[in-house]
Amino acid sequence: MHSYLHIDNAKMVFDTKKGKFTALTDINLDVKQGEFIALIGHSGCGKSTLLNLVAGLTEPTQGVLLLSDKEIKGPGPERGVVFQNHSLLPWLTCFGNVYLAVERVFGAKEPKSKLKERTQAALELVGLSHAIHKHPNEISGGMKQRVGIARALAMEPKVLLLDEPFGALDALTRAGLQDELMRIVKETQATTLMVTHDVDEAVLLSDRIVMMTNGPSATIGEILEVDLPRPRDRLKLAENPAYHHLRGQVLEFLYQKHLKKAA
Amino acid sequence: MSAVTINENSLKDIMNSPDTTPLPAAVSVAEARPTPFLQTERGLAFAEAIGKFFRAVLPPILGIALFILLWQMVSVSGGESGLPGPAKTWESAKLLFADPFYDNGPNDKGIGWNILHSLYRVGAGFGLAALVGIPLGFMIGRFQFLSGMASPIISLLRPVSPLAWLPIGLYVFKETEPASLWVIFISSIWPIILNTAAGVSRVPQDYLNVARVLNLSEWKIFTRILFPSVLPHLMTGIRLSIGVAWLVIVAAEMLTGGTGLGFWVWDEWNNLNVEHILIAIFIVGIVGLLLEQVLVMIANRFNYE
Ligand SMILES: Nc1ncnc2c1ncn2[C@@H]1O[C@H](COP(=O)(O)OP(=O)(O)OP(=O)(O)O)[C@@H](O)[C@H]1O
Ligand SMILES: [Mg+2]
């Protein structure tokens, strides 16, 4: 099988004040183009660390990561990232934050009016038309996350890296954005890696669920194929026994085999 | 709220409203005794505002009154040759500020001119320091190597007393005016460099990650991320630096002479006009306070958190 994203024996060791800390080890993963991967695991196991490696923000201590047969040597605009802590620039408005990304990707070949249109469309998509000229300190945590999502989507990236993008959202907004995400990914054929804590979300959205063991020296414990037909409808899935079976398997991995030791 | 809280105004409203039939009902309302003002909602708010005002204003007023009293006591206890008292100084100040901008030749100018001259020197010296210090601070903060190069020199020169630079200035420039600018420049540049550099090296990694993920150009990184992120630190540097400049200018002008508050103080000392020296101290304090307040206001505009 030819893989689009290829992670070979990656290992990540951090230098800390108390010496070396091995966060990830023996990470092997192949992702096909257009595939949707959910990364799930207990807090602190190294999901963000893995995502940062793919984003090119950090380099592995050992091993290689290839993206369409080229080694990942740094970040690139073909990889859109939604950060776990949203990372908006506080001195720019919501519009300004998204525009910065749009300008970078499309600025060379499109007029300003088109760039503004794209920015507006991206913010509309996440339901923030009304807050377009507010600064990040004037909006709620969930709204900030949505601006972060809009910023990544507006770049129309080939690879979407999402670090708990819906973590701070209420169930209703979350469901709406999950549906949007499914639609966008289908439309753009983006290859997606999404970190989540939510078992339902993982099963609903992904083609495969990568389940990670607990750190330190975390690695990939199991990979679960989610062979539910698309398009998926959350209400219909609720009556689907296959859905419940998959859900059960993830839960079993998380809470039986890798129960987080009480700290 | 209880239904009885009708004050005079709302009564008038009721009376004037076209819906009100001016007969029995209205009369009975008019006869009811209005609630005392301080028990109405507006009255309570008023009382609260007054209380707040006193809590905020009373302590400073008391402090100032005590200070003036102490001053009076010191001046009285000195007898004939003691310090001038508050009243005498006040009279003298009124005279001084009656015509602040007269000009009787080089050594006899109004107090307004002297203040403006000192402010101009602080502005010019500080402006030069900012022109050199801000870019230098950015480079030192961004490049570890430069930081290593600059740090021994800065650590060595920063603790030097500002006036120690004056002879060097006089020697190099052969004139007093550039020499006093030089002293302001050299003593106010350190806070700018150090705060800017600290700000640059403390730009949150998250913001730099955004820059990397978006693959921004160096120019965009500077204008959209580094500069706005450093701005609060830079403002702190500017505030400290102008503070130092204002401290130093009076001393420098005492030595260089000509014009300015410092020169004026020294001149009045030679005339043995002690009231004027006291007034000068107040002026230096008040102008310094105003400078600080303006800069704090500007700095707050750039605070995004
Ligand atoms: N820069 C770093 N230096 C040292 N240790 C780090 C660094 N980044 C992460 N770690 C450690 O690596 C481990 C994994 O961190 P990571 O942020 O990837 O966890 P996570 O799975 O994303 O957790 P969460 O679900 O809470 O976000 C943690 O133990 C963390 O302390
Ligand atoms: Mg994380």
Tell me the domain boundaries of chain A. 1-78+158-263, 88-156
Strands A159-163 and A79-82: parallel
Atom of ligand 1 nearest to the CA of A52: 18
At B4, the pLDDT band (50, 70, 90 cuts) reads: very low
Identify the pLDDT of residue B44: 84
**Chain B CB contacts of A87 below 8 Å:** 206-207, 209-210
Mean pLDDT, rounded, for A77-103:
92
CATH class for domain A1-78+158-263?
alpha beta
- Average of pLDDT values for A192-205? 93
Q: B204 to chain A nearest CA, in Å?
A: 10
- The predicted structure's pLDDT at residue B1: 42
Closest chain A C-alpha to B126 CA, distance in angstroms: 27
Residue A162: the pLDDT is 94
Query: What tokens does B162 get?
Result: 């500002």
B25 — pLDDT class (breaks 50, 70, 90) = very low
Collect all residues with Cβ–Cβ distance below 8 Å to B292 and sequence separation of at least 6: B239, B242, B243
Question: Among the listed ranges A237-251, B78-92, B199-213, B280-294, which one has the minimum average pLDDT value?
Answer: B78-92
**Nearest-CA residue for atom 7 of ligand 1:** A14
* Cβ–Cβ < 8 Å for A3, A32: yes
Which ligand lies nearest to the CA atom of residue A13 in the structure?
1
CB within 8 A of B252, min separation 6: which ones? Answer: B121, B162, B163, B166, B180, B183, B184, B262
pLDDT exceeding 90 applies to what percent of chain B? Answer: 45
Residue A107 has pLDDT above 70, yes or no: yes
Query: Can you give the pLDDT at residue B45?
Result: 86
What pTM was estimated for this model as a whole? 0.75
Question: What confidence tier does A36 reach under pLDDT thresholds 50, 70, 90?
Answer: very high
Q: List B residues 213-242 in contact with A (Cβ-Cβ < 8 A).
A: 213-216, 220, 224-225, 228-229
Give the closest of A74, A79, A87 to B210, CB-based. A87
Burial B152-188 (b: 16+ CB within 10 A, else e): eebeeeeeeebeebbeebbeeeeebebbbbbbbbbbb
Which of A11, A13, A17, A21 best tests ligand 1's pocket when mutated (most atoms within 8 Å of CB)?
A: A21
Residue A191 pLDDT level (bands cut at 50, 70, 90): very high
Interatomic CA distance for residues A145 and A165, integer angstroms? 6
Contacts with B216 from chain A: Cβ below 8 Å: 100, 104
pLDDT value at residue A259 = 60
**B174 backbone φψ class: left, alpha, beta (φ>0; ψ -120 to 50):** left
User: If you average pLDDT over residues B249-270, what whole number do you get?
Assistant: 88
What's the CA gap between B199 and A251, in Å, rounded? 46
Mean pLDDT over residues B138-159, rounded?
Answer: 92
pLDDT of residue B31: 55
Of B13-17, B45-49, B112-116, B295-299, the range with the lowest mean pLDDT is: B13-17
Question: Length of chain A in residues, anyone?
Answer: 263
Per residue in A39-70, pLDDT (tens digit) is 999 988 999 999 999 999 999 999 999 999 99
pLDDT of residue A33: 93
What is the predicted pLDDT for the residue at A248? 93
**Which ligand sits nearest to residue A260's alpha carbon?**
1
pLDDT-wise least confident of A191-200, A248-257, B103-112, B227-236: B103-112
Q: What is the mean pLDDT of residues A109-131?
A: 92
Flag the least confident range among A250-259, B164-173, B214-223, B239-248: A250-259
Task: Convert B232-249 to b/e letters by CB count within 10 Å (16 or more is b).
Answer: bbbbbbbbbbbbbbbbbb
Q: What is the pLDDT of residue B67?
A: 94
